[in-house]
């Protein structure tokens, strides 16, 4: 491969994912320098190979057959900061570990991403599905994304307004999927050190406190809640071998929500969005469709700590994970008429989503 080194063949991908399943990549390269990108893409073009951009592998499911193209594992490093009035702009390379950026921001008294503590993966992965948790989304802090535009074959800068961020969505996973390779991201963080405590779980934890909660308190609280739900990566905990939430929370029309609510004697959880539609917790739908935490399919299981996560109990195949997911989608559809959409990106499958 002209101008690049380190091309490897038949590289098992499971170890590069948090789920720990999946077959090999036909070709694989670590991207340590932006200048290695064009030759890598040219190689794929010459061989007519599909390209997959891999970050921390925390939101993907690789098929048992693997990926027949070139996997580019983004390992770009570097973080810098610049004052901007009451704010600081943090520029982080796409291959930086996301939680390390959050930890550093919290210890520097910069607010805006503290509730996103403990989310695994890379900086470059965060704009893709507009990562969010506990009342914050990265779209609230991102000002600019630097990327390589595969269509125009050049580096570009996208302002946040051009990224079309919404719930678990952006141009990077919808209209312009596969077009951009994210190189670095700018986050505008506030110097006031005021944490966001808008999520009910967090509000409950802090309501009885006499002193104001600090950024560090909120980070600690979020990490504790995550650990309790198996949503922190911990090699020693079986329930954390997952891709996080396996399904997005569906958003439905209010009339549809009311119809579901009228069928239940208990109150149906729902969060009204700005446009009047209602977001229903997928975990609730899954439980009401008859699934229990710990239900298994081979070595794949619904997490014992959180009904929304599918975990690899050790030795699971992608096929087992997909079978369990498919069963969940089918039963939720039968019960509620709602089609759950998976959050992880499926790689190397024949169909876009094998349900
Ligand atoms: C235990 C656990 C908890 C989680 N909790 C949350 C949560 O609370 N909220 C949430 O939103 N998500 C959560 N996730 C999902 C996941 O961590 C995030 O989506 C994360 O941002 C994915 O980043 P990644 O680097 O691992 O991306 P990968 O999994 O490697 O890739 C995911 C997608 O992003 C693309 N991509 C990655 N890097 C780049 C790049 N540089 N340029 C272009 N495309 C790129 C890939 O091609 C792929 O399409 C969780 C996952 C786990 C395992």
Give the chain's domain count: 3
**Quick check: 4 pLDDT over 70?**
no
48: alpha, beta or left? (left if phi > 0; alpha if psi -120 to 50) = left
Asked if residue 318 is part of any domain, the answer here is yes
Least confident of 61-65, 194-198, 292-296: 194-198
172 and 243 share a domain? Answer: no
**Quick check: 355 pLDDT over 80?**
no
Q: Report pLDDT for 240.
A: 83
Give the atom of ligand 1 at the shortest distance from the alpha carbon of 126. 21
User: What mean pLDDT is predicted for residues 60-70?
Assistant: 97
**Quick check: 173 pLDDT over 80?**
yes
83 and 223 share a domain? Answer: yes
- Of 125, 142, 243, the one to substitute when testing ligand 1's pocket (max ligand atoms within 8 A of C-beta) is 125
**Ligand 1 proximal residues by C-beta, below 6 Å:** 18, 52-60, 74, 94, 119-122, 124-126, 128-129, 131-133, 172, 181-182, 231, 233, 240, 242-244, 345
Regarding predicted confidence, which is higher, 286 or 350? 286
196 and 264 share a domain? Answer: no
Task: For residues 44 and 28, give the distance between their C-alpha atoms in angstroms, rounded to a whole number.
Answer: 11
Domain, as residue range, for 113: 79-228
Asked if residue 83 is part of any domain, the answer here is yes
37 and 53 share a domain? Answer: yes
Q: What CATH number is given to the structural domain containing 32? A: 3.30.43.10
Residue nearest ligand 1's atom 43 by CA: 181
Asked if residue 233 is part of any domain, the answer here is no
Q: Report pLDDT for 2.
A: 47
Asked if residue 355 is part of any domain, the answer here is no
CB 183 within 8 A of CB 147: yes
207 and 85 share a domain? Answer: yes
User: What mean pLDDT is predicted for residues 31-42?
Assistant: 96
Q: Report pLDDT for 274.
A: 86
Render pLDDT for 223-240 as a digit per residue (tens, 0 to 9): 999 999 999 998 888 788
Asked if residue 352 is part of any domain, the answer here is no
Q: What CATH number is given to the structural domain containing 312? A: 3.90.78.10
Give the atom of ligand 1 at the shortest distance from the alpha carbon of 125. 23
Q: Report pLDDT for 352.
A: 60
pTM equals 0.95
Q: Are β-strands 278-279 and 251-252 bridged in parallel, bridged antiparallel, or unpaired?
A: antiparallel
Asked if residue 1 is part of any domain, the answer here is no
Q: Which of 56, 74, 92 is the last residue of a domain?
A: 74
- Phi and psi at residue 196, to the nearest 5°: -90, 120
Q: What is the mean pLDDT of the chain?
A: 94
CA dihedral 312, 249, 345, 286 (to 10 degrees): 40
69 and 86 share a domain? Answer: no
Q: Which of 228, 249, 276 is the last residue of a domain?
A: 228
């Amino acid at each position: 491969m002209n101008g690049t080194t380190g091309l490897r063949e038949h590289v098992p991908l499971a170890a590069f994912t948090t789920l720990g399943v999946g077959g090999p990549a036909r070709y694989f390269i670590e991207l340590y320098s932006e200048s290695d990108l064009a030759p890598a893409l040219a190689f794929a073009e010459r061989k007519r190979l599909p390209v997959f951009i891999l970050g921390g592998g925390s939101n993907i499911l690789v098929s048992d057959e693997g990926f027949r193209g070139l996997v580019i594992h983004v390992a770009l490093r570097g973080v810098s900061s610049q004052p901007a009035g009451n704010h600081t702009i943090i520029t982080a390379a796409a291959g930086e570990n996301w939680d390390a950026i959050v930890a550093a921001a919290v210890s520097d008294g910069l607010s805006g991403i503290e509730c996103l503590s403990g989310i695994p993966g890379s900086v470059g992965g965060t704009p893709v599905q507009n990562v969010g948790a506990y009342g914050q989304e990265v779209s609230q802090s991102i000002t600019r994304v630097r990327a390589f535009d595969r269509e125009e074959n050049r580096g570009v800068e996208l302002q946040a307004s051009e990224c079309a961020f919404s719930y678990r969505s952006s141009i990077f996973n919808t209209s312009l999927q596969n077009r951009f390779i994210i190189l670095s991201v700018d986050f505008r963080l506030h110097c006031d050190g005021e944490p966001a405590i808008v999520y009910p779980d967090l509000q409950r934890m802090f309501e009885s406190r006499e002193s104001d909660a600090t950024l560090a308190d909120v980070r600690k609280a979020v990490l504790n809640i995550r650990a309790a739900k198996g949503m922190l990566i911990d090699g020693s905990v079986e329930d954390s071998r997952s891709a996080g939430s396996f399904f997005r929370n569906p958003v439905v029309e209010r009339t549809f929500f009311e119809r579901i609510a009228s069928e239940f004697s208990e109150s149906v959880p729902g969060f009204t969005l700005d446009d009047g539609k209602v977001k229903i917790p997928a975990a609730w739908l899954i439980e009401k469709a008859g699934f229990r935490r710990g239900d298994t399919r081979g070595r794949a299981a619904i997490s014992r700590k959180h009904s929304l996560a599918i975990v690899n109990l050790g030795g699971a195949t992608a096929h087992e994970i997909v079978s369990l997911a498919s069963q969940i989608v089918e039963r939720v559809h039968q019960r509620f008429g709602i089609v759950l959409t998976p959050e992880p990106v499926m790689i190397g499958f024949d169909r876009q989503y094998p349900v």
